[in-house]
Amino acid sequence: MKIDSVEEFNELLKKENHFFFMKHSLTCPISANAYQEFNRFLDQTDAKGYYLAVQESRSLSNHIAETFGIKHESPQAFLVDHGEVLWHASHSRITKNELEKQMTKS
């Protein structure tokens, strides 16, 4: 599910205790591959996943970087648990297998 605003993201943090989130660039081929891996993972598990399109939600992307103290990269994936980031990765490290591995750790 796409999240577009800081308000939507803050509501997500209140509503969901455990979820994956991805910053996706609409113009980057590496991001397209990571987004495909992210969606394959979500399709084959019961994990909850959300994303933003960086070009459309720059302020939200910056908010996430500032809130969690994690330098912005794109693509970038996070595992959020009770409002804290337990894991994050970027670029080619975003794979279905890595996401599955993080799901079993938490």
DSSP H helical ranges for the chain: 6-15, 29-43, 58-68, 96-105
Specify the pLDDT at position 51.
Answer: 98
Are 50 and 59 a contacting pair, CB within 8 Å?
A: no
pTM for this entry: 0.95
Q: What is the mean pLDDT of each run of 10 residues along the chain (106 residues)?
A: 97 97 97 98 97 97 96 96 97 97 85
Are 52 and 2 a contacting pair, CB within 8 Å?
A: yes
Specify the pLDDT at position 106.
Answer: 67
Task: Summarize the chain as % helix, strand, coil (round to 5).
Answer: 45, 25, 30
Specify the pLDDT at position 104.
Answer: 85
Q: Domain 6-104 in CATH: superfamily?
A: Glutaredoxin (3.40.30.10)
